[in-house]
Amino acid sequence: MDKAKLIEMLKDIFNVRIVASIIIVVVVFIFYRIVMAILDKQAKKASNGILAKGKNRTYFELARNILSSLILIVTILVLLQINGVNVTSLLAGVGIAGIVVGLAIQDWLKDIIRGTTILSDDYYQVGDIIIFEGREGEVMSLGLKTTKIRDLATGSILSVANRKIEQIEVMPDSVFYRVPIPYEVSLSDADKIVADVVDLIKKSSVVKDCEVKGIAELADSKIEYVLMVSCRAIDKMQAKKDCNRAVLEGFEANGISVPYNKLEVMKKDI
C-alpha cells in the first residue's frame, strides 16, 4: 500500500469529528447509567409501605422513559452538529413541516396526554392489577406512550397504548364474598356463625381485613350475608379460596351444612 494512501486512511480513522462523536457517546452512556442508578436508589429509599412503593415505581419508570428520550434526542442533535449538520436550520425546518408531522403523530400525542393523565389522576400504578379486553394482568411499567402489562393467566407481556385508558378497568383491593346460611338457623345463631367465619378468614395470609356488611339477599333456600374482604388485587383468587375453606370449617364447627336448592316432587294419586 502506498505510504500516502496509508497516511490518508489514518487521517480518516482519527478524524476529529469521529473521535469527538465516540467520546460524546461514551460520556452520555456513563452519564445515563449514573442518573438511572441515582433514581433507582432514591426510589427505593423513599418507599414506605405498599402504596408508596407502587407510586415510586410508577414515577421512576416514567422518569426513566422521559430522561431516556431527552438524552437520546440531545445526543443525536449534538452528534449532527459536530458532523457538519446545521441543527438550527434543521429545527427551523421542523416548524415548517409541523402541520404535516402533527397529522401523522396524532395517536402519539394522544398517548402522551393520556399517560400524563394516568399519572396525575393516579388512575393506576406499577404493581396494580387491571383488566384490558377481558385479560387480567399486573402493570409492569408505565410510560408516556404505553403501559406494559403481564398477563396473569399466561405470563405474556402486553403493551397497551395509553389512549385506550377508557378500556382499562382497575381491580379494587377488596372482594365481596357471600356466606349462605340455611333458613332453619335462627338469626342470632346465624350472626354468630358468620362472625366465626370472619375470624377464620382473617387468619388467611393474603387477607388484610374482613367485615360483615349485612344481609344481602333472602334467596330461595338460604340467607346470604355479604362480607367485604380486603386483600391485594393480585391475591383475589387465593382470598376467595380461603373464604370457601373458612365457610366449610365454620359450618362444621357449628354443626350445620351448606344450604342447597331442594327439589320437591309431588306425587299425585291416580
| Residue 264 pLDDT | 52
- Architecture of the domain delimited by 174-253: 2-Layer Sandwich (3.30)
Q: 7-104 with 113-170: one CATH topology?
A: no
Which range scores top for mean pLDDT: 65-74, 77-86, 162-171, 227-236?
A: 227-236
Q: What is the pLDDT of residues 198-243, one digit of tens each?
A: 999 999 999 999 999 999 888 888 899 999 999 888 888 889 999 9
Half-sphere exposure of 263 (CA within 13 A, CB side): 1
Q: Which of 10-19, 25-34, 60-69 has the lowest mean pLDDT?
A: 10-19
Confidence of residue 193 (pLDDT cuts 50, 70, 90): very high
Residue 268: pLDDT band (50, 70, 90) is low
DSSP character at residue 266: P
> 88 CB contacts (<8 Å, ≥6 apart)?
none
Mean pLDDT of the chain: 77
Residue 16 pLDDT exceeds 90: no
CATH no. for 113-170: 2.30.30.60
Most confident of 90-104, 138-152, 176-190: 176-190
pLDDT in tens, 132-156: 888 888 888 877 778 888 888 888 8
Domain boundary assignment for the chain: 7-104, 113-170, 174-253
Sheet of strand 168-170, all strands in order from the earlier edge strand to the far edge: 157-161, 146-151, 135-142, 129-132, 168-170
Q: Where does the pLDDT of residue 51 fall: very low under 50, low under 70, confident under 90, or very high at 90 and above?
A: very low
Give the residue from 124, 216, 203 showing the smallest Cα distance to 164.
124
Q: Please report the beta strands in 41-86, taking only residues with DSSP state E, as ranges in sequence order.
A: none
pLDDT of residue 225: 94
CA atoms of 231 and 209, how far apart (whole Å):
7
Using pLDDT thresholds of 50, 70 and 90, give the confidence band for residue 248: very high
7-104 topology per CATH:
Helix Hairpins (1.10.287)
Please check whether residue 258 is in contact with residue 251, taking contact to mean a CB–CB distance below 8 angstroms. yes
